[in-house]
Structure 1
Amino acid sequence: MLTLTQVKSKSTARLSGLHPVILAASAALIERCYARGIPIVITQGLRTIAEQDALYAQGRTKPGSIVTNAKGGYSYHNYGLAVDFALLLPNGSSVSWDMKLDGNGNNIADWLEVAEEGKRLGFEWGGDWTSFKDYPHLQMTFGLTLAQLRAGIQPSDSAVEAAYRIITPKQEPKEQTMEEKTLATVKVNGIKIADGLLDKGVTYVPVRVLVEALGAKVTGYDALTKTVEITCNH
């Protein structure tokens, strides 16, 4: 079985030049899919204008079948805002575009699981398009049109921050276990009376132990009002 490091290495070359958000989302996509038993490889990332024009010519003025309707400057790939993926086969060297393949055996096509994870990360999936479906394609537009990108407009800071929050959601602080909390020695007049529990700057000590060390007594506890009665001898 391929390790996650091995799977990641297959995509390294294609991740170069991507917008930082797309890079982070692509890395997270690889990790999430691997966790579901679906190794994938990024087959296309940043594509230059010249490369886009050459791809557009395929099936038109050059041999081959038509694979894109986008000329140079008319694809989000040209701005580092899109990636294409394929399924990485167990041998680690072959890829598959079989959209019915169920390599992890959960009765759901692996391809659709990858698309689902991509959309959870904030990607738009080309398989959802109505006119020209592009099943390997994932992109983030940050609310910008291609015309705006051609004019040199960059994603706003707020749009970038919003995308990062989806990719790496803020986690609530985990409650400390008793083992993780710190014990603190509690002394009265230099003599240890108890091991206190230090939690977030507050030391907790059994009240009876403390008050008796100070010459007082616990004389009662009202369960209804949750009140401890302490009586001093002087």
Structure 2
Amino acid sequence: MLTLTQVQNKSSAKLAGLNPAVHSAAAALIERCYACGIPILITQGLRTAAEQEALYAQGRTKPGAVVTNARGGYSYHNYGLAVDFALLLPDGKNVSWDMLRDGNEDRLTDWEQVVQIAKTLGFEWGGDWSGFRDYPHLQMTFGLALDRLRAGEWPSRAAMATVNDLLKKEDNIIKEEEAIVAVHVNGVKAADGVLDKGITYVPARLLAEAIGAKISYDPKSRTVDITLASEKAKFF
């Protein structure tokens, strides 16, 4: 399983150059999706006007399918105010745009969960547009239409502060959801665990002892080994 740091590192290059508030929100999105068992990859971030023109030409004057209706200067990507995402697959190398995928097996589509988390962070989703729907697209406009951005106007400090305040509020909500929980094995309390963002953390030694297993640690490989007796291994 990929670590959070590994997942974050895969998107770091695409976060470069984003508006600071959008950068913080995108980083929070990666972290909160990971906590739900949904690793994601930011596939697009800041895009120059020339890059936008090349993308616009795809499916028109160049081979490929049409992927955007926006010319250079007519996309929030061109101003560091938008990102695109994809679902990062378990191998850590490939991605999926399958909107029906349920990789964390919670009976909810991963795509829908990512979108809902993004909206709590202040993002607008391209899948809600009435015209051309851009399902991987997330953006923050800060109340600025594209013509104002083309004229050289940028998000105000007050507008960006609103997003940062929202992120802090969401962080506080998550911290309040952390709780100490009792972990039982066959009806008998084995240890106290910490419930954090839907994941329960339990001391490995206490849990191993509760199920009658042997536990050892190899500092060289930084590996914890839990070994069950053969007859118990069949039961568990």
Amino acid at match of 2:124: E
In structure 2, C-alpha distance between the alignment counterparts of 1:126 and 1:167, rounded to whole Å: 21
For 2:87, the equivalent position in structure 1 comes to 87
Q: How big is each residue's C-alpha offset from its partner over 1:1-26, in whole Å with a ceiling of 9 and x where there is no partner? A: 11000000110111110000011000
- 1:62 to partner: Cα distance: 0.6
- 1:146 to partner: Cα distance: 0.2
Amino acid at match of 2:129: W
Q: Does 1:134 align with 2:134?
A: yes
1:1-150 alignment, distance < 5 Å: 1-150=1-150
In structure 2, C-alpha distance between the alignment counterparts of 1:9 and 1:158, rounded to whole Å: 30
- 1:158 to partner: Cα distance: 1.2
For 1:180, the equivalent position in structure 2 comes to none
> What secondary structure is seen at the aligned counterpart in 1 of 2:23?
helix
In structure 1, C-alpha distance between the alignment counterparts of 2:45 and 2:160, rounded to whole Å: 18
Q: Which 5+ residue runs of structure 2 have no aligned equivalent?
A: 177-236
**Judging changes above 3 Å, is the alpha-carbon distance between structure 1 residues 159 and 70 closer, same or farther for their aligned structure 2 residues?**
same
**Judging changes above 3 Å, is the alpha-carbon distance between structure 1 residues 35 and 171 closer, same or farther for their aligned structure 2 residues?**
closer
1:168-179 alignment, distance < 5 Å: 168-169=168-169, 171=172
Q: How big is each residue's C-alpha offset from its partner over 1:29-58, in whole Å with a ceiling of 9 and x where there is no partner? A: 000000000000000000000000000000
For 1:160, the equivalent position in structure 2 comes to 160
In structure 2, C-alpha distance between the alignment counterparts of 1:43 and 1:10, rounded to whole Å: 9
- 1:167 to partner: Cα distance: 1.4
- 1:126 to partner: Cα distance: 0.4
> What secondary structure is seen at the aligned counterpart in 2 of 1:17?
coil
> What secondary structure is seen at the aligned counterpart in 2 of 1:165?
helix
> What secondary structure is seen at the aligned counterpart in 1 of 2:5?
helix
* Structure 1 vs Structure 2 CA RMSD: 1.5
> What secondary structure is seen at the aligned counterpart in 1 of 2:115?
helix
Amino acid at match of 1:107: R
Identity of aligned residues (%): 66
In structure 1, C-alpha distance between the alignment counterparts of 2:35 and 2:162, rounded to whole Å: 25
| Structure ranking higher in helix proportion | 2
TM-score normalised by length of structure 1: 0.72
In structure 1, C-alpha distance between the alignment counterparts of 2:172 and 2:113, rounded to whole Å: 24
Greater displacement, 148-157 / 165-174: 165-174
- 1:171 to partner: Cα distance: 4.2
In structure 2, C-alpha distance between the alignment counterparts of 1:146 and 1:2, rounded to whole Å: 38
Q: Which 5+ residue runs of structure 1 have no aligned equivalent?
A: 175-234
- 1:144 to partner: Cα distance: 0.1
In structure 2, C-alpha distance between the alignment counterparts of 1:22 and 1:111, rounded to whole Å: 20
In structure 2, C-alpha distance between the alignment counterparts of 1:161 and 1:137, rounded to whole Å: 22
Count of residues in correspondence between the two structures: 174
